[in-house]
Structure 1
Amino acid sequence: MKNRFYTLACMCLTFGLLGQTKEFIHKGNMNPARLSQIDRMLETYIQNKTINGAVAVIHRNNELVYHKAFGYFDVETQKSMPRDAIFRIASQTKAITATAIMQLYEEGKLLLDDPIEKYLPSFASPRVIASFNFTDTSYTTIPAKRSVTIRDLLTHTSGIGYAQIGNDTARALYGKFGVVGGIGVTNPKIRLADQINTLGTIPLMHQPGTKWTYGLNIDVLGRLVEVLSGQDLASFFKTRIFDPLGMNDTYFYQPASNWSRIVPLHSSSASNGIVKLPTETSMLGGLYTAYPSFKGTYFSGGAGLSCTAMDYAQFLQMMLNDGIYKGKRILSRASVKLMRSNQIGDVEFIMPGQQPNNKVGFGFIITTEKASAQSPTSVGTFFGGGAFYSIYWIDPVEKITGQLMVNMLPMSDADLLEKFKVVTYQAIQD
Structure 2
Amino acid sequence: MQSDRLGRIKTWQQRYVEERKYPGSALLINRGGDEVFFHAAGLRNIEEQLPFSRDTLVRLYSMTKPVTSLAMMILLERGLFHLDAPVSDFLPEFRNMQALIEGASAISQTEPCPAPTLQQLLTHTSGLSYSFNPGLLPQAMEAADLLFKPDQGNLAPMVARLAELPLAFQPGTRWEYSVATDVLGRVIEAVSGKTLGDFFAEEIFAPLGMHETGFQVPAGAGNRFASLYTPLAGDAMALNSAETGAESLRLTDSWQSSPFQRAELQSGGGGLVGTLDDYMKFAEMLRRRGRCSDGFIISPQTADFMMQNHLPGEIASMGPQSFAEQPMEGMGFGLGGAVALDPARARCPGSVGDFSWGGIASTFFWIDRKQDLSVVFLTQLAPSSSYPSRPELKALVHGTLTA
TM over 0.5: yes
For 1:186, the equivalent position in structure 2 comes to: 151
Could you tell me the TM-score, scaled by structure 1's length? 0.84
Paired with 1:410 and 1:200, the residues of 2 have a C-alpha distance of: 27
> Quick one: distance in 2 between partners of 1:341 and 1:327?
25
The aligned counterpart of 2:120 is 152
Q: What residue number does 1:334 align with?
A: 301
* Residue aligned with 2:249, SS: strand
Asked if the contact 2:331–2:346 (Cα under 8 Å) also holds between the matched residues in 1, the reply is no
Indicate conservation of the 8 Å contact 1:349/1:359, yes or no: no
Among 189, 193, 201, the residue aligned to 1:238: 201
State the Cα distance separating 1:429 from its structure 2 match.
Answer: 3.2
Distance 1:31 1:303, change over 3 A: same
Equivalent residue number for residue 65 of structure 1: 36
1:255 Cα offset (Å): 2.6
Aligned match for 1:384, one of 357, 362, 375:
357
- Residues 1:127 and 2:98 are matched in the alignment: yes
CA deviation profile, 1:137-181 (whole Å, cap 9, x unmatched) = x6121111x33100000001010111x3232412332245x3522
Structure 1 residues 335 and 411 mapped into 2: Cα distance closer, same or farther (>3 Å)?
closer
Structure 2 residue 288 is the aligned partner of structure 1 residue 321: yes
2:127 touches 2:174 (CA, 8 Å); kept in 1?
yes
Q: Give the letter aligned to residue 181 of structure 1.
A: L
Q: How far apart, in 2, do the equivalents of 1:142 and 1:334 lie?
A: 39
Q: 1:349 to 1:93 in 2, by over 3 A?
A: farther
- Amino acid of the structure 2 residue aligned with 1:115: P
Cα pair distance change 1:175/1:53, threshold 3 Å: closer
TM-aligned CA distance change 1:349 to 1:364, over 3 Å? farther
1:368 matched residue in structure 2: 341
- Counterpart-to-counterpart distance in 2, 1:161 and 1:409: 19
Q: Which residue of 1 aligns with 2:241?
A: none
Contact 1:259 1:293 in 2 (8 A): no
Higher mean alpha-carbon deviation, 95-104 vs 317-326, is at: 317-326
CA contact (8 A) 1:349 1:360 kept: no
Aligned partners of 1:420, 1:110: CA distance in 2, in Å?
38
Structure exhibiting the larger radius of gyration computed from Cα positions? 1
Q: Give the alignment partner of residue 184 of structure 2, picking from 198, 221, 229.
A: 221
Q: Please, which runs of 5 or more residues in structure 1 have no aligned partner?
A: 1-29, 281-287
| Alpha-carbon distance in structure 2 between the residues aligned to 1:423 and 1:354 | 18
Shift of 1:398: 0.6
**What letter corresponds to residue 264 of structure 2 in structure 1?**
T
Range 229-238 or range 72-81, more displaced? 72-81
Runs (5+) with no aligned partner, structure 2: 232-243
**Which deviations, in whole Å up to 9, do the C-alpha atoms of 1:34-64 show, x marking residues without a partner?**
2111111111111121111001011111111
Contact 2:123 2:310 in 1 (8 A): yes
**Equivalent residues in 2 for 1:339-354, closer than 5 Å:** 339-346=306-313, 347-348=317-318, 350=320, 351-352=323-324, 354=327
**In structure 1, how many angstroms separate the alpha carbons of the residues matched to 2:104 and 2:142?**
13
Aligned length: 384
- Is the deviation greater in 401-410 or in 208-217? 401-410
C-alpha displacement of 1:97: 0.2
Q: Would the aligned equivalents of 2:137 and 2:167 in 1 still touch at CA under 8 Å?
A: no
Alignment RMSD: 2.2
Which residue identity is paired with 2:11? R
Q: Percent identity?
A: 28
**Residue 251, structure 1, aligned to residue 214, structure 2:** yes
Partner of residue 116 from structure 1, selected from 87, 91, 95:
87
CA distance in 2, matches of 1:90, 1:32: 32
Q: Return the match for 1:139 from 104, 108, 112.
A: 108
Hey, what's the Cα distance between the residues in 2 that align with 1:196 and 1:61? 41
- Provide, for residues 84-143 of structure 1, a one-character-per-residue CA deviation record: whole Å limited to 9, x for no partner: 000101110000000000000000001011111111111112111237666xxx612111
Alignment of 1:97-108 (within 5 A): 97-108=68-79
CA–CA distance in structure 2, aligned partners of residues 52 and 45 of structure 1:
8
